[in-house]
Every structure is written in structure tokens, then in C-alpha cells.
Amino acid sequence: MWRLVSELLGRGEVVVKSVRRRYLALRVECEDSCDGKAVSDAVWDSVLRLFGEVGSSQAGLFLVHFEEGTNYAVLRCSHRALPMVRAAIASVTKIGNKPAAIHVLRVSGSLKALSKKVATKKEKLQESGECEQPPNEG
Amino acid sequence: MKFSDLHLRVPLNDMQQTRKMIEKSSALGYSQIGVPLPFSVKQDAIDRLRHGSEEFGVDFVTRLDLAPKSSGELLGSLRRFRRKFEVVSVLCGSKPLARQAAKDRRVDLLSFHTVEPRKRFFDWAEAELASKSSAALEIDMAQILSLEGFFRVRLFSCLRREVATAKSFGVPVVISSGSTDALLLRKPQDFASLAFVFDMDVSLALEALSKNPVGIVERNRVKESPAYVAPGVRIVREGRSRGQVC
């Protein structure tokens, strides 16, 4: 389904927004500390190895945010490439030659909705006694 | 949805690491774990593991991995150990063995650990036998995560063919971690996403992580209960015999 932006131009034409995106909240588990670039490289490398150059070009990957210390990240990808990106994220076993794992916490269509979903999860975790800090993406 | 990982390979001699892995499984959303145990395992060791799992709210399942060399050895092992374990998996190393395991009702899981396509003996013949005996095909995700390059490509190719065969014959597929390391554990949804690479639908993959393994464990627990008589027959309540007088 294509999402209509409904921006009416002067001549009454409807502009169709062709790129739909998905935002993924990630939790990076690494034996040592890691930075955003290393995480981004690991995901890129994984997509490239699993789906090749054509697949990578369709993924539209971009690391929106990385919080050092808590190791939370927000990654953006194309809506159509979401299954590919999720598979690639699950297959990451190393970040910069150090054993690591990346877990997908939530997926959403906008950053606003993603932050709400992650906040809800945080409340649930606090209720159950496990406190986890979510990413503070804007 | 209740998720199950029937192949969590914890180091049994390291209780701290074992607890860590069970805790991690629980945190990732699994409510049932199957741990492969040696056939000589003592009951107190099982109780200790079960107690440790209950601390994290995880249902503990005993599992036996058999790797026999012949069909006769498989039958002997099944006769001796079937009742002692809740889940029995057979590593099929030859064609006759795969056939025997697929048709035996006491076998729950058929495993193939090699990436050599000629040594993975799950084709339509095994699938047909397995569909009648209710054995399931097991896929260890740790293999996918640990292999690289050409070997992983070959594994994907084998898995794609096996999953398609299993689907066409109605053989249930069970996805398990097969992991010895906590960093190789993933959430059930992540494993389901990874199953995309060998053409498995997310809904089917989630069934392979929840309904299928949980069903196997429930079926075997019913069989082990004293009320069980035969498939489809169980004692609901005991009546008085004719000789008894009130």
C-alpha cells in the first residue's frame, strides 16, 4: 500500500510518497564497549553478506541514534527491506572482531511512535522489577 | 504465545554459566527450555537444573541426543532410555538410520548437523515416514550464526530444500538455538526473522518456535503420566471392580 501524503499542488494533483520507512529500536550486547560506527558497520556488513550489493542498496540503512553506555540504538531502513534487515541484524555475531549480539526491541513507522512504544516497555519492565533504559531519540 | 527452545546446550559442569544461559533465555522471552543431558545423568542433577530454571520462571525439559551408528543401536537406545527423557532427538548420520528414526514413534526430533548436502538425509521418503510417526525436523540456528561464506550458503540451500519438503508432507519443523554461548541466543522473533533466509514464513517460523516444540513436550508428558493407556486412550477415573462390595 502506498501512503498518500495528500499534498495538493496548485493544479490539484496528489503527490504520492514513495518511500516508506521503518525505525528499529535495538539493544546491542557486546563483550567490550562499542561505538555507533562499529554497530552500523556490523549491520551493513551483515546485510551485504546475506543479501549482496543489490539487497544492501534496497535496504536504505541509516543509524539514527546510538547511546553509548546503555548500548541502545535506533536504525532506519526501508519498509520493504524490513524482513531482510531483521534477518541481517539477527545474524550479527561480531562487532569489530568482538563477540556481540543485536536484539530488536521494537519496530515502528515513525520515531515518535517508536519512542512511545519503548517508553511503554520501560514502564512494564519497571513494574516487573527489571529496569532498562530506553533510547532517548527525538 | 509460549516460546520454547528445545536445544539449549548448557555446560553441565559449570553451574554458574548454566544459570547465566537459563536466565538469558528467560529474559529473551522463552518460557520453556530443553537441555540435552547424558543418558547416565543422575536424578538429583536433573532436579537441580529444574529448580534453577524455575527460579527464572522457565519450564525445564529433559532431552536426550542420540547419535547411533546403526538402526539396531538406535532401537536399543530407544528401548533403554525413551522413558527417562521428555524429548528424544536423533542425529541422523546415514540413510537407513534416518529412515528408522523417521518411522519410529518414540523419536521426537530428527537432526542433521552437517552442511554436506549428500549427508543430510531428509528427503520425501523420510518426510512421508515422519508425517505418519509425528517426528519433527529440527533446525539449529547456532549453525547459521557460526558458519560463514561458502559453508553457510550450502547450509541455506539444504535448509530451504528441507523446509519445503517438510511443508509439503506436513512434517512439523522445530527451530531451536543449539547454542553453547549466551551471545548466540536470540529472541524468538529474531530467529523467526532469520528463518526468512531459507524461505520460511514468519508465521510458520513462530509456530516452529512455539506451537510445535510445546506440543511435542505436552504429548510426551501425557504419555509419561500414569493415566496414559494408548494414543487417544487415558484413564479419566477409576471405577470399582465387579468383585468389590460396598
Is the sign of the CA dihedral A124, A130, A135, A138 positive or negative?
A: positive
Residues of chain B contacting A, Cβ within 8 Å: 27-28, 144-146, 148, 181, 183-187, 189-191, 193-194, 196-197, 202
Collapse the DSSP code of A65 into the 3-class scheme (helix H, G, I; strand E, B; otherwise coil) and give the result.
strand
Q: A69-104 burial by CB neighbour count: b if 16+ within 10 A, else e?
A: eebbbbbbbbeebbebbbbbbbbbbebeeeebbbbb
Q: Is residue A69 part of a domain?
A: yes
Q: Is residue B246 part of a domain?
A: no
Q: Is residue A95 part of a domain?
A: yes
Kindly tell me if the per-residue pLDDT of B233 is higher than 50: yes
Q: Is residue B244 part of a domain?
A: no
Q: Is residue A37 part of a domain?
A: yes
Question: What is the Cα gyration radius of chain A?
Answer: 17
Q: What pLDDT band is residue A1 in, cutting at 50, 70 and 90?
A: very low
Q: How many helices (H) and strands (E) does chain A have?
A: 3, 7
DSSP code for B106 = T
**B178 or B242: which leads in pLDDT:** B178
Task: Output the average pLDDT for chain A.
Answer: 81
Return the pLDDT at A122: 65
Residue A103 forms beta bridges with which residues?
Answer: A27
The total number of structural domains in chain B stands at 1
The total number of structural domains in chain A stands at 1
Q: Is residue A119 part of a domain?
A: no
Q: Is residue A128 part of a domain?
A: no
Return the pLDDT at A133: 46
Q: Report residue B21 as a C-alpha cell.
A: 544461559
- When scoring B157, B177, B197, B200 by the number of chain A Cβ atoms within 10 A, the one with the most, hence best to mutate, is B197
Q: Is residue B75 part of a domain?
A: yes
Q: Is residue B170 part of a domain?
A: yes
* Four-point Cα dihedral B145, B147, B148, B149, nearest 10: -130
For residue A51, the distance in angstroms to the closest alpha carbon of chain B comes to 9
Return the pLDDT at A85: 95
Among the residue ranges A5-14, B204-213, B233-242, the one predicted with the least confidence is A5-14
Task: Output the average pLDDT for chain B.
Answer: 90
- When scoring B25, B139, B175, B196 by the number of chain A Cβ atoms within 10 A, the one with the most, hence best to mutate, is B196
Q: What is the pLDDT of residues B12-68, one digit of tens each?
A: 888 889 999 999 999 999 999 999 999 888 888 899 999 989 999 999 999 999 999
Q: What is the pLDDT of residues A89-115, one digit of tens each?
A: 999 999 988 999 999 999 999 888 988
Q: Is residue B23 part of a domain?
A: yes
Q: What is the pLDDT of residues B165-176, one digit of tens each?
A: 999 999 999 999
Return the pLDDT at B245: 53
Residue A29 forms beta bridges with which residues?
Answer: A101
State how far the Cα of B182 lies from the Cα of B231, in Å rounded to an integer.
38
Kindly tell me if the per-residue pLDDT of A2 is higher than 80: no
Return the pLDDT at B114: 78
Q: Is residue B38 part of a domain?
A: yes
A-chain CB neighbours of B139 within 8 Å are: none
Q: Which segments of chain B does DSSP mark as H helices, in order? A: 15-28, 43-55, 71-81, 95-103, 124-133, 141-146, 149-169, 188-194, 202-209, 211-224
Q: Is residue A137 part of a domain?
A: no
Q: What pLDDT band is residue A11 in, cutting at 50, 70 and 90?
A: low
pTM equals 0.85
In sequence order, what are the residues at sequence separation of 6 or more whose Cβ sits closer than 8 angstroms to the Cβ of residue B220? B86, B87, B108
Minimum-distance CB partner of A90 among B148, B183, B194: B194
> Distance between alpha carbon A69 and the CA centroid of its chain, in Å?
18
Q: Is residue B242 part of a domain?
A: no
Minimum-distance CB partner of A101 among B27, B186, B193: B186
State how far the Cα of B237 lies from the Cα of A43, in Å rounded to an integer.
59
Is the sign of the CA dihedral B68, B182, A122, A78 positive or negative?
A: negative
A-chain CB neighbours of B29 within 8 Å are: none
Q: What is the pLDDT of residues B72-127, one digit of tens each?
A: 999 999 999 998 899 999 998 889 999 999 999 999 999 988 777 778 888 889 99
User: Within 10 Å of residue B40's Cβ, how many Cβ atoms?
Assistant: 7
A-chain CB neighbours of B184 within 8 Å are: 93, 101
Q: Kindly state the average pLDDT of the residues B218-233.
A: 86
Cβ within 8 Å, pair A90-B191: yes
Q: Is residue A5 part of a domain?
A: no
Q: Is residue A40 part of a domain?
A: yes
Return the pLDDT at B117: 76
Kindly tell me if the per-residue pLDDT of A6 is higher than 60: no
Q: B109, B124, B137, B242: which is closest to B198 by C-alpha?
A: B137
State how far the Cα of A78 lies from the Cα of A58, in Å rounded to an integer.
7
Residue A60 sits in a domain of what CATH number?
A: 3.30.70.3250
Domain that holds residue B153: 3-234
Q: Is residue B239 part of a domain?
A: no
Instruction: Fill in the amino acid letter for A22.
Output: R
Q: Do B111 and B140 contact (CB within 8 A), yes or no?
A: yes
Measured CA to CA in angstroms, residue B162 lies from A33, B111, B173, B212 at distances of 40, 11, 10, 17
Task: Return the number of CB contacts < 8 Å for A and B.
Answer: 47
Kindly tell me if the per-residue pLDDT of B184 is higher than 70: yes
User: Within 10 Å of residue A9's Cβ, how many Cβ atoms?
Assistant: 8
Residue B142 sits in a domain of what CATH number?
A: 3.20.20.140
Return the pLDDT at A105: 92
DSSP string over B158-222 = HHHHHHHHHHHHT--EEEE--BSSGGG---HHHHHHHGGGGT--HHHHHHHHTHHHHHHHHHHHH
Domain that holds residue A72: 21-109
